[in-house]
Amino acid sequence: MPTFIIARLTFLEAVRRRIALAAFLLGLAFLILYGAGFYFITRETGVPTGSEPTAQLVRSQIFNFLTNAGMYAVNFLTLAMGALVSADTLAGEIGSGTIQALVTKPVRRAEIVLGKWLGFAGLLALYLLLMAGGVLAIVYLQVGYRVPNPVAGVGIIYLESLLIMTISLACSSTFSTLATGGTIFGLYGVAFIGGWVEQIGTLLRNQTAINIGIVSSLIMPSEALFRRAAFEMTSATARALGMSFGPSFVISVPSGAMVVYAALYLIAALAVAIRQFSGRDL
Amino acid sequence: MTAFALETRDLRKEFGDNVAVRSLSLQVQQGEVFGFLGPNGAGKTTSIKMLLGLVAPTSGTATLLGAPLGDRAARAKIGFLPEHFRFHDWLTAREFLTLHGQLYGLPSARLRERAAELLELVGLTPFQHKQLRTFSKGMLQRVGLAQALLNDPQLVFLDEPTSGLDPVGRRLVRDIIRDLRDLGATVFLNSHLLSEIEITCDRVAFIKHGEVIRVTDLKTIVDGETSVTIRAGGLTPEAVAGLSQWGRDVRADGDHITLTVTDDSALPAITRHLVAHNAEVYALTPQRLSLEELFIQIVGTDGGL
């Protein structure tokens, strides 16, 4: 199966060119930093230590908040990895001519795109599992706390990283590496700012600001997806108060429809990548 | 089934307003070593890219091994050495051949055997576990050549196969082409090294401005007029004058004589004639109307610009 041959090649490339190594070392550095930070915050600040129900409740809310703050960083690192590994893959190989010996083999161009996609998807899965698993393990080992719905939360973050990677791949099938990087960075910026505009709009009950946020989430659902993931991983107590724990307090939570939208967006981006690459001159 | 390994009809490619290939019509027979010649910018590379499905023609049709362009079953029987032979340089030579063999769909036992065979053929067996990034240009070209032969192709495209090679490597390429021909494969050779084409090809197409302006059978050039250079001492005017019975344009300059003969069989007679006139013959060298002269004659000195 050519798709799997290319997927394996893509995975191998990340390993051989030390991209994976650099990402994992930096990820490890983050986990060490996070572990140390968590240790000192939970011991040297006013986290209630009593065994009465109120103290327990407050404590678990603080742990929940800190876990989700760590997940936000993991989310960002995984997104960056998704965008970076795939930005150069088609554009770079077209530019250098490496692609020529591949596409003249008896394979479909779609199989090359799908193979690369699968390879990156595998790489991102591994990275996210280690990073998110690392954060969850650090919290659990230090204080014995477990966030609710980690599978759903991490799953949504995975979808988000796949989406960014796929858009990056689609851009890379048409534009140069640099233009691809610029586009992805711009889209991420739109989502990031839009997300905050929506939050503030919700807080101030300003419908225009909320709409701006929604539109920006439709252009690029990354930030919205994280807010949904954070919501999944927030305790029922906090949810009952109308908030969830992101890097700060999330008060505007995208509906489950946003997850479906993102999945459709991803499929469309993959279709564009295949179509563009299949039709272009190399 | 057509007898042509490759046939194109009015293949045309435009990039915006720029016409890269105007109208390429070619027929290459099976088992032929076919040279593709033309000045820079004549559309050679674009033509090869169209044939290999890298670039979609604006109009026109072509068949490779009887199948339309882009047919995957036909591609399984085609080998290609790209001009710039850039490969995944973090693979070892062995892994590189394995990858490309897998893409050809070779069964793994056959692939192992074939990869070892080809590494040996191109002289890279001692370097098979080295990453391609450590390879010289010539070594890359050799491994690229091995890659193009993995599937025992019926049709091989070699785009400037000797550009990075030293004389030993060039001879290797020549030998490989000869072996391919012996196996009945068709070779489509794009090279700007005319001597290379002259030695290896059966026929050659000259292209200019994206059109075939002449297809020449190289055997007929060889059988045609030959210019002969003679170096001999003790030449008498009668000895020189007598040469005109075998050829024309006889010119003598000290120890050197040049003349043009129509048939190689004149050469022994010329030698006998000179010896009979007590000349001391040091060298008698037939110089065929070279492909270079033909190239300039056909394409013009403007280089087609």
What ipTM did this prediction achieve?
0.84
Angle of helix A177-204 relative to helix A222-232, nearest 10 degrees? 50
Cβ separation A100–B56 shorter than 8 A: no
Alpha carbon dihedral B185, B190, B193, B195, in 10-degree steps, equals 30
Bridge partners for B227 per DSSP: B260, B287
> Among residues of chain B, what percentage have pLDDT more than 70?
95
C-alpha pair distances (Å), B144 with each of A139, A226, B87, B99, B149: 52, 46, 8, 12, 9
Please identify among residues 143-182 of chain B the ones whose CB lies closer than 8 Å to any CB of chain A: 144, 147
Q: What SS3 state is found at A174?
A: coil
Asked whether residue A219 carries a pLDDT value surpassing 50, the answer given is yes
Cβ separation A105–B75 shorter than 8 A: yes
d(CA A88, CA A168): 9
What domains sit in chain B, N to C, each tagged with a CATH number? 4-218 (3.40.50.300), 225-288 (3.30.70.260)
Predicted model pTM? 0.86
Q: Is A193 near chain B, with CB under 8 Å?
A: no
Mean pLDDT across B4-13: 91
Total domains in chain A come to 1
Domain that holds residue A25: 2-279
Two tokens, residue A257 = 């429809």
Mean pLDDT across B101-115: 94
Give me the helices (H) in A205-281, please: 207-219, 222-232, 236-240, 256-279
DSSP state, B92? B
Asked whether residue B1 carries a pLDDT value surpassing 60, the answer given is no
> What is the DSSP secondary-structure string of A58-115?
HHHHHHHHHHHHHHHHHHHHHHHHHHHHHHTHHHHHHHHSHHHHHHTSSS-HHHHHHH
Q: Express each pLDDT in A123-174 by its tens digit.
A: 999 999 999 999 999 999 999 899 999 999 999 999 999 999 999 999 999 9
Length of chain A measured in residues: 282
Check residue B224 and give its pLDDT.
Answer: 62
Check residue A248 and give its pLDDT.
Answer: 67
Identify the helix (H) or strand (E) that includes residue B5: strand B4-15
For residue B216, give how far its alpha carbon lies from the nearest alpha carbon of chain A (Å): 29
Q: Is A110 near chain B, with CB under 8 Å?
A: no
Asked whether residue B221 carries a pLDDT value surpassing 70, the answer given is no
Q: Is B55 near chain A, with CB under 8 Å?
A: yes
Q: Which of A100, A111, A276 has the highest number of chain B CBs within 10 A, making it the mutation to test binding with B?
A: A100
Q: Is A21 near chain B, with CB under 8 Å?
A: no
Asked whether residue B22 carries a pLDDT value surpassing 80, the answer given is yes
Highest mean pLDDT, choosing among B35-44, B108-117, B245-254, B283-292: B108-117
Two tokens, residue A200 = 């503030």
Check residue A126 and give its pLDDT.
Answer: 94
Check residue B222 and give its pLDDT.
Answer: 54
Query: A180, A135 in Cβ contact below 8 A?
Result: no
Q: Tell me the helix, strand and coil percentages in chain B, rounded to 5.
A: 35, 30, 30
